[in-house]
Structure 1
Amino acid sequence: MGTKGNDRQIDNIEFNVSDIERSREFYGKAFGWTFTDYGPTYCEFTDGRLTGGLTTSGPVGSGGPLVILYADDLAETQKRVEAAGARIVKPAFSFPGGRRFHFQDPDGYELAVWSEN
C-alpha cells in the first residue's frame, strides 16, 4: 500500500470496479497513472504522489472510493475507532502486505485502516 510511517493519516484510496483492465486503461490514458498487479482481483495504482487500488472484491457503487488510513498498531487503532463511536463492518483480515479492517463512521461512511503487522 502507501508510504510507511504515517500513523493515523490517509494513506490509500481504493476503487471497487467491475473490470480492472478497463479501469487501468481509463486512468492510465486520462491521468497517466502507473499500475502494479497483485493478482486477478487487485491492482495498485500511483499518480506519482498517492497510491491506491482498483479491486473487484466488492460491489461497485456510487458512494465513492474507499479511503484507507495507515496505523502503526492496527489493534490499538481499532480500539480507538470503536471507542469513538464507529462500527466495525469488516473485521481485520490479512492481504498481501499486511492486515486491515473496515469501519463505518457515525454518518455511515465506510473507511479502512491498514498496517503491515
Structure 2
Amino acid sequence: MPTITATALGAPCWIDLASSDLDRAKDFYGGIFGWTFESAGAEYGGYTTARKDGRKVAGLMANDPQWQMPDAWSTYLHTADIDATLAKAVAAGGFSCGGAMDIPEQGRMAMLTDPDEAMFGLWQPTGHRGFEVVGEPGAPVWHQLTTRNYGVALEFYRQLLGWQTQTESDTDEFRYATAVFDGEALLGVMDGSVLPAGTPAQWSFFLGAEDVDTTVEAVLARGGSVLRAAEDTPYGRLAAVADPTGAAFNLSSLPTG
C-alpha cells in the first residue's frame, strides 16, 4: 500500500500510547509488529514515533503519574481548526481536558471527552500529517467508538466533525453505524447498551495481523494478555488483547483477494 500523505477531515489520523514502561512497550510492539522507534528528544518530552517499514504508524510517550490515568492508547481525529472544534465540542456536552496545546513544527493537539465520557484526541496538523500506513499487518485497519448513548454520540460527531454516517445494523441485539469519508468507511460506532453495566464508553482500534491466532500467541509470550479470545466474525477474525502494562488494543485479520 502506498504511503499516506493526508487523512480526511473528521477521520482518525493518529494513535499513541501513554505507557509507564516505554522500554518494555518498545520491546513488545517492536517484537510483535516489527515496529522501529525514533525519539523526538527532550524538547518533545521524549515522545517516540513508531514506524512500520519506515513509515509513521503510531506514537509512544511516558505516562506521567500526575495524570492519574492507566496506561492506554488514544485515537486522534483530524480537524482543520482545533480551537473552534474544541469550543463546539464543549458547547455540545463534551469536556475539554486542558485545552489545545502547540507541538512545535508538528501541529496542535487537544484531549477531550464526548457526552458519554469516551476520551479522544483532536489533531490539527502542520508538519506531522499522521498515519503514513494503514490497512497492513502491524498498522491500523479499523477504528471504533463503543458508546451506551448511541444516538447522542452519532449526533455529537456528525455536528462536531461533519461525519456522514450509514446504518449497518439496527436491532436490539446489535446496533452499529459506520462513518464514511470520501466514499470509504473508516470507523464504526457500536451501541454498547447491550454490554454489561459499567462498561465504559471508549474509542478503540484494530491492528492488522497476517495470522490473528499466531499474533495472540506472540502477545502472550511477550507478557501481554488476552481480553477476548480470537473468533471468526462477519468482519474477519478478531481478538482483543493488552500489552504488558495493560494498554488494550484489538487485532484483525486482513481482507483477502
Same fold (TM over 0.5): yes
1:34 and 2:164 aligned: yes
Q: Which has the higher contact order (CA 8 A, sep 6+)?
A: 1
Give the alignment of 1:31-70 within 5 angstroms. Answer: 31-40=161-170, 41-47=175-181, 51-57=186-192, 58=195, 59-61=199-201, 64-70=202-208
Consecutive unaligned residues of structure 2, counting only runs of 5 or more, are: 1-132
Residue segments in structure 1 that go unaligned for 5+ positions in a row: none
TM-score for the superposition, normalised by structure 1: 0.78
Change (3 A) 1:46 1:106: farther
Tell me, yes or no, if the aligned pair for 1:66 and 1:112 is still in contact at 8 Å.
yes
Aligned residues: 113
Contact 1:97 1:116 in 2 (8 A): no
Query: Where does residue 96 of structure 1 map in the other structure?
Result: 234
User: What corresponds to 1:12 in structure 2?
Assistant: 142
Q: Which string of whole-angstrom CA distances, capped at 9 and with x for unpartnered residues, describes residues 27-53 of structure 1?
A: 111101222322132222245588222
Per-residue deviation, residues 49-100 of structure 1 (Å, max 9, x unmatched): 8822211244224xx4112111122122212222221100101123322120
Q: For the Cα contact (< 8 Å) 2:208–2:253, is it kept in 1?
A: yes
Could you say which structure has the larger radius of gyration?
2
RMSD: 2.6
Q: 1:39 is paired with a residue of what secondary structure?
A: strand
Residues 36/50 of structure 1: CA separation in 2 closer, same or farther (3 Å cut): closer
TM-score, normalised on structure 2?
Answer: 0.39
Within 2, Cα distance between the matches of 1:107 and 1:26? Answer: 32
